[in-house]
Chains A and B, each alone.
Chain A
Amino acid sequence: MSNVVPILKTQGITMRFGGITAVNNLSIEVNPGEIVALIGPNGAGKTTAFNMITGVYTPTEGRIIYCGKDITGMKPDQITKNGIARTFQNIRLFKKLSVLENILIARHLRLKSDFLSATLRLPQYRMEEKQMREKVDVLINEFGLSKYQHEVASSLPYGVQRRLEIARALATEPSLLLLDEPAAGMNPKETEELTHFIRDIKERYNLTVFLIEHHMELVMEISERIYVLDFGETIAKGTANEIQNNPKVIEAYLGVEEDA
């Protein structure tokens, strides 16, 4: 382990909102090609941790290192350009825009042509536009979205919206994909499909995946390592097996038995 350079490393990141400490001294490491999960009861600070990593919040304390580079305090768009993409717990698609437009917006940052060459339709721009459309088409097909591509995002079935959100995240060409409760609202069968799907895209797009999830079957099945948060504190870390048998984790989830 020691000679692997982690793709993502947080060093004691802490987030305080006024007097409330949402996340305290969180140190995690995610290695290239891994699938790592962040779990914990509601309100444990998981999404806050994601928001710090993606630049939505700047941590009150601590550093975030991505690919050996300090990204603490960078703006979300710069972090995305560096190769971190994410999805949201409560789906945040551009609801009134079509499936195609949602994905095109995410490809936006990889376009080099400026405004002038676009308006004048210079050859360089047209070539770039063609390449972009090809990449987008591939993505749309692989995600089974082709029959929906001109539909408005909010009109899609829930499961398809979830898939579109992942497709949109991948359109930014990330190396690290953060999934915030990808299985939220899914039944066991859908969850199982999602498990295969995440593994599949991880291989195909050469990703590292860091995810928040409540569905324990999915987490235990898919994750190589797990971090457990409770009230902003890291209470455990380890493999699925270690976590399942950790008394502190059981206590956090089920409450402690009190002697009468």
Chain B
Amino acid sequence: MSSTTLQHLANGVSLGSLYALVAIGYTMVYGILRMINFAHGDIFMMAAYFAFFGIATFRVPWPFAFIGVILATALLGMLVERSAYRPLRDAPKNSILISAIGVSFLLENLANYLFSGKPKAFPEITFFANTVVIGGVSIQVITFFIPAVTMIILAILLYIINRTKLGMAMRAVSKDYETAMVMGIDINKVIAATFAIGSGLAAMGAIMWGIKYPQVQPMMGVMPGLKCFIAAVIGGIGNIKGAVIGGFILGLGEILLVAKLSSLTGYRDAFAFILLILILIFRPTGILGEKTTEKV
């Protein structure tokens, strides 16, 4: 394998992992509430700002800053759910969707107003910026770090969902939330936890995104947000493993498209949308999606 191919593969896997982390947030919320949280990409953006301010402005050592950012973003996710989605839970599905779009605009404009639209440089962290040489190519530590973190997170997440009380409650709520309530499950807690976990994962994605593509600006969540939503749809929305697979397909596909067909580089973003259209035509439930049956 040529050294450049190796480099592209490493980049593709790393981008795919980032997409996967954010896509999990979309898919978990969909699984539980049957809604697309269009504000998820902007929560990702806010997390990048939190990290920027934590490290660059307040000089918090990066490991502590990261933990703080993850917690703060989880709180932000819960706040959004509590204030914008919960009051609309019994309203028609469209209302909650529109509310999500509203939150998305609110966060973008809030960031623009508070932090200015001028892009900020994400602080460089020496540990991640170091390069290692493998097979004649030098690759940044962060490129390996991202997939490793994603895999560990995925393992923990699957453990939580399949083996813990919270996970059991989440599965019950996603199957039939009314019955889950009658079985004694407090669905408000379960939904809040879902948003906390999804937003925490988006924060991890944002931090690593900032390290790899070191620029923070108010609209930075829009395109990754859309792509991760597409990744979740490709994998089968509602399915966590599907979201990860979708993330990898999108990340690898994008990098390899740019690398192998460099004349199409300008169509990089279009690739994701073309894939979305194809999936919706030929396999609307996604790769791992289940057939949906409407409840009467």
Contacts and interface: CB of A to CB of B under 8 A. Distances in A.
B82 to A, nearest CB: 16
A75 interface: yes
Interface string A49-82: 0000011100000000000000000011110110
A55 B187 CA distance: 14
B175 interface: yes
Given A92-B179, A94-B175, A172 B184 contact: yes
B272 to A, nearest CB: 30
B164 A115 contact: yes
A55 B184 CA distance: 11
Contacts of B172: 94, 97, 105, 108
Given A94-B176, A96-B175, A97-B175, A76 B168 contact: no
Contacts of A92: 176, 178-179
A78 B176 CA distance: 17
Contacts of A95: 175
B180 interface: yes
A109 B184 contact: yes
Q: Range of interface residues on chain B?
A: 20 to 34
A105 B166 contact: no
A88 interface: yes
Contact of B164 (A55, A75, A105, A118): A118
A76 B181 CA distance: 5
B179 A108 contact: no
B187 A77 contact: yes
B169 interface: yes
Which one of A75, A76, A104, A106 has the highest number of Cβ atoms from chain B below 10 Å of its Cβ? A76
Interface string B170-206: 0110011011111111110000000000000000000
A56 B84 CA distance: 23
A217 to B, nearest CB: 28
B183 A106 contact: yes
Given A97-B171, A115-B164, A109 B179 contact: no
B165 interface: yes
A87 to B, nearest CB: 9
Interface string A132-175: 00000000000000000000000000000000000010001000
B183 A111 contact: no
Q: Range of interface residues on chain A?
A: 20 to 34
A2 interface: no
A46 interface: no
Contact of A101 (B168, B176, B179, B187): B168
A115 B171 CA distance: 15
A88 to B, nearest CB: 7
A86 B182 contact: yes
A119 B181 CA distance: 24
Interface string B151-176: 00000000110011110110110011
Given A56-B178, A76-B182, A95-B175, A105 B187 contact: no
Given A94-B176, A95-B175, A80 B184 contact: yes
Given A75-B181, A81-B184, A94-B175, A108 B165 contact: yes
A172 B184 CA distance: 8
B90 to A, nearest CB: 11
A106 B180 CA distance: 8
A113 interface: yes
A80 B178 CA distance: 12
Contact of A105 (B159, B160, B168, B178): B168
B170 to A, nearest CB: 10
The 7 closest A-B pairs by CB, nearest first: A109-B184, A80-B184, A76-B181, A94-B175, A105-B172, A92-B179, A118-B164
26 contacts: A56-B182, A76-B181, A76-B182, A77-B181, A77-B183, A77-B186, A77-B187, A78-B186, A80-B183, A80-B184, A94-B172, A97-B171, A97-B175, A101-B171, A105-B169, A106-B183, A109-B183, A111-B165, A115-B160, A115-B164, A115-B165, A115-B166, A119-B159, A119-B164, A172-B183, A172-B184
Given A105-B180, A108-B183, 10 more contacts: A75-B186, A76-B178, A80-B181, A92-B179, A94-B179, A95-B175, A105-B169, A108-B168, A118-B164, A119-B160
